Amino acid sequence: MARLQVLAPAVAVLVLTAAPARAGRPMSLDDLLTAVRVGDPQVSPDGRQVAFVRTTTDLGAGKRNADVWIVPADGSAPPRPLTRHEKTDNAPRFSPDGKMLAFVSTRSGAPQVYLLDLEGGEPRKLTDLSAGAQDPLVFSPDGKKLAFVSDVFPDCADEACNKKRRDEAEKNPVKVHRLTRLMYRHWDEWRENTRHHVLVADVATGAVTDVTPGDFDSPPDHYEDGGIAFSPDGQEIAFVSNRDGNDKEATTTNKDVFLVPVAGGAAVKLTVANAAADFDPVFTPDGASILVRAQRRAGFEADRWYLDLYDRKTKTKRTLFKEPDLSVDEFVLSKDGKTVYFTAEREGRTDLFEVSLSGGTPREIRRGGNIGALKAGQSILVFTESTLTAPSEIFLLPLEEKAGSPAAKSRQAKALTDENRGWRKDVAFSTPESLSTAGAGGARVQYWLVKPPMFDPAKKYPVVFLIHGGPQGAWEDGWSFRWCPSLWAAQGWVVVLPNPRGSTGFGQKFVDEISGDWAGKVMVDLNAVFDAVVKMPFVDAARQGIAGASYGGYAVDWILGHTDRFKAAVTHDGVFNLESMTTVTEELWFPDWEFLGAPWDAKAKEQFAKWSPHLFADRITTPTLVITNELDYRVPVDQGLQLFTALRRQGVPSEALVFPDEGHWVLKPLNSKSWHEAVFSWMKKYLEK
């Protein structure tokens, strides 16, 4: 087995980790809700500027607004706005000559593409589509064309037809959903009669061509990032699509990479031999090969991701590396085409690595935090990074003069933004601790422990365990605007974030061991963490709380039916009835894999009978707050309502929050405020008696 070469982690100018406990105030809910959000950094072609999206929140009005900002890559000046508008501006992309910036804005209604001359002047509206435009925005190498995604009616040949159909639907008093295929709704929207297509606009005239016509999503809905790439000669576009047939879009993960002429024509599949997912096509500079991020097992969305290089002439495929066991998340190719930079989860963090395009052993070049939004310039990488105690900021990492050469020293990252310094400097954070204990079969189970600010080891504190979703996910050393452990700890609780079986970043075997075993080894792992933590001298074992969302909500529902150790519980969008959930969720490949078959298969029925929390609901005695959302099509609203009904019928202290305008997550500022206030109030009611 190849050994991972590790460098000492680079030291950032901006320190994101929490300082030792010091005088200061606890973090407040307003700190979380009004924190400035930065993301989507883009490097100018000359490497001298970085554009990014900066989002602010007006809590009084309950609104967020995003603008495009820019900062010198050398840090010689502070960031400044490129756009200022009451409507949202996002997805900035530099033209190849660096003279123009494309972005998406809602300033005229539906989101449209705008072009901004960087030497001055007002943005020019490029598109005027009834369904609007959405990222990714991708310039052709000569800058004369711009590709993006828009929704179309597949039987329409032009925008005039699309507009007419939308206008007719808007005016029709009958608002019926007519379903003719699966995946008729996805995450939080109905999608029964429109398709994502790749459109190409002429930058000079605004004329638009649909290059992926037909009754297919190209790229798939909610999988748009990295779904479009121009060939170096500008004559072809690579895109991602599932073309196995309408109903199979909901039952298979088989997304493929296709190639189509920019002028239009027949699409040709590149990834013919792989029945699992293929994403993120990137051409090598000479156009001879295409790099693709790919999985191996069909139907398993949490399978490990590899980097495959397709030689277009020989039709052969080569995998860049198989060891160590790292699952590639984001990746970029160096400008000279010799080195691939990528992120991967590892041990509760997301780290940054490099590997030669010719293959070999990956080498760590920066340890997270949580690193994302990776982009490459001529001699630099830019990315966002956050920790459990700091929201994302934008960093720049200089690269060695010779890409891919062995490192003689660690590289130093430079912070280009520090947007939340104003409030962070006044807040007392506790430094999160990464700990572990032995779980099922003696396996090591990592968890994060966050103590309250101004922690006093002589005191005993309530403890709250937060269970992550997925189930193939992880608690990482990264910031969350939805479940922020530092804010939970600021309520005066010890907060624990377990990474049991199914958690990503601990090897694919660890991930695999939850499928078909939703309340087996994972529950042994969780109980091991619970037991280890309550033995700590500063933890009050008589005041334990538990909360979780999605699979985490499932875990809470299950645990409450099997123990009375917890004094309070919160379950958000949790799976309660496995059998009913599998027939109304949208991505059907997920329950098919996790429960070993379709709902009517014998093995699936055995799973439902063995692992469904609703079958043990009569044993629940813990006071429980149930949260469910009407636009959640992943774990539909009935799951929470079933649980709430069961609790109330048995006299268990319980309340429910039902948000009619939220999906799987509660995202709107005032809804989020209400969510946090209700959740914290519920926990305090039972943990602080």
**Distance, CA of 139 to CA of 419 (rounded, Å):** 29
- Measured CA angle at 631 (ends 629, 637), to 5 deg: 45
The pairing of beta strand 624-629 with beta strand 568-572: parallel
Q: Is the peptide bond before 537 cis (omega within 30 degrees of 0)?
A: no
Average pLDDT over residues 94-106: 98
Residue 258 near residue 270 (C-beta atoms within 8 A): yes
Average pLDDT over residues 549-553: 98
So what's the pLDDT on residue 452? 98
The tally of CA atoms less than 13 A away on the side-chain side of residue 143 is 12
Residue 492 near residue 428 (C-beta atoms within 8 A): no
So what's the pLDDT on residue 8? 31
pLDDT band at 689 (very low <50, low <70, confident <90, very high): confident
Q: Which residues have a Cβ under 8 Å from the Cβ of 130 and sit 6 or more positions away?
A: 110, 159, 162, 163, 166, 167
Dump pLDDT digits (tens) for 239-277: 999 999 879 999 999 999 999 999 999 999 999 999 999
pLDDT band at 164 (very low <50, low <70, confident <90, very high): very high
**Distance, CA of 259 to CA of 272 (rounded, Å):** 12
- Residue % of the chain over a pLDDT of 90: 93
Mean of pLDDT over the chain: 94
pLDDT band at 10 (very low <50, low <70, confident <90, very high): very low
Q: What domains lie within the chain, and their CATH numbers?
A: 433-687 (3.40.50.1820)
Residue 394: Cβ-neighbour burial (10 angstroms; 0-12, 13-18, 19+) = buried
In the predicted structure, residue 409 carries a pLDDT above the cut 80: no
So what's the pLDDT on residue 16? 52
**Distance, CA of 96 to CA of 94 (rounded, Å):** 6
* Number of helices and strands in the chain (H, E): 12, 39
Cα–Cα nearest to 116, from 97, 95, 85: 95
pLDDT band at 15 (very low <50, low <70, confident <90, very high): very low
Cα distances from 376 to residues 50, 78, 232, 331, 379, in angstroms, run 11, 21, 16, 9, 8
Q: Order of strands, edge to edge, in the sheet holding 112-117?
A: 89-94, 100-105, 112-117, 124-125
Cα distances from 122 to residues 84, 114, 207, in angstroms, run 11, 10, 21
**Distance, CA of 196 to CA of 74 (rounded, Å):** 39
Residue 42 near residue 51 (C-beta atoms within 8 A): yes
Residue 681 near residue 673 (C-beta atoms within 8 A): no
Average pLDDT over residues 462-476: 98
Residue 672: Cβ-neighbour burial (10 angstroms; 0-12, 13-18, 19+) = buried
So what's the pLDDT on residue 411? 66
pLDDT band at 22 (very low <50, low <70, confident <90, very high): low
Crossing angle for the helix pair 551-560 and 521-534, nearest 10 degrees?
70
Token pair recorded at residue 430: 């506790």
In the predicted structure, residue 299 carries a pLDDT above the cut 80: yes
| Identity of residue 195 | R
The pairing of beta strand 654-659 with beta strand 414-415: unpaired
**Distance, CA of 75 to CA of 12 (rounded, Å):** 13
Average pLDDT over residues 190-213: 96
Beta strands in 211-288 (DSSP E): 228-230, 236-241, 256-261, 268-269, 278-283
Token pair recorded at residue 222: 């909610």
- Residue % of the chain over a pLDDT of 70: 95
Average pLDDT over residues 603-629: 98
So what's the pLDDT on residue 412? 86
| Identity of residue 516 | G
In the predicted structure, residue 401 carries a pLDDT above the cut 90: no
So what's the pLDDT on residue 245? 86
Residue 400: Cβ-neighbour burial (10 angstroms; 0-12, 13-18, 19+) = middle
The pairing of beta strand 624-629 with beta strand 654-659: parallel
pLDDT band at 23 (very low <50, low <70, confident <90, very high): low
In the predicted structure, residue 405 carries a pLDDT above the cut 50: no
pLDDT band at 26 (very low <50, low <70, confident <90, very high): very high
pLDDT band at 68 (very low <50, low <70, confident <90, very high): very high
**Distance, CA of 346 to CA of 67 (rounded, Å):** 33
**Distance, CA of 67 to CA of 84 (rounded, Å):** 6
In the predicted structure, residue 111 carries a pLDDT above the cut 60: yes
pLDDT band at 543 (very low <50, low <70, confident <90, very high): very high
So what's the pLDDT on residue 404? 45
The tally of CA atoms less than 13 A away on the side-chain side of residue 144 is 5
Average pLDDT over residues 175-198: 95
pLDDT band at 402 (very low <50, low <70, confident <90, very high): very low
Q: Which residues have a Cβ under 8 Å from the Cβ of 116 and sit 6 or more positions away?
A: 68, 82, 83, 100, 101, 102, 103, 123, 124
So what's the pLDDT on residue 176? 96
In the predicted structure, residue 624 carries a pLDDT above the cut 80: yes
Residue written as tokens 């495929």?
A: 317
Beta strands in 324-460 (DSSP E): 328-333, 339-346, 349-356, 363-366, 370-376, 380-387, 390-398, 414-415, 433-438, 444-450
In the predicted structure, residue 2 carries a pLDDT above the cut 70: no
Residue written as tokens 């079986």?
A: 501
pLDDT band at 204 (very low <50, low <70, confident <90, very high): very high
**Distance, CA of 671 to CA of 264 (rounded, Å):** 45
Q: pTM of this prediction? A: 0.94
| Identity of residue 327 | S
The tally of CA atoms less than 13 A away on the side-chain side of residue 201 is 26
In the predicted structure, residue 17 carries a pLDDT above the cut 60: no
Rounded to the nearest 5°, which phi and psi values hold at 685? -60, -35
So what's the pLDDT on residue 314? 92
Token pair recorded at residue 288: 């001879």
Residue 397 near residue 73 (C-beta atoms within 8 A): no
Helix (H) or strand (E) segment spanning residue 115 = strand 112-117
Residue 505 near residue 345 (C-beta atoms within 8 A): yes
Residue 367 near residue 411 (C-beta atoms within 8 A): no
Count the residues in the chain: 689
Kindly report the number of other CB atoms within 10 A of residue 84's CB atom: 10
Q: Which residues pair with 307 in a beta bridge?
A: 293
The pairing of beta strand 256-261 with beta strand 100-105: unpaired
So what's the pLDDT on residue 557? 98
So what's the pLDDT on residue 378? 87
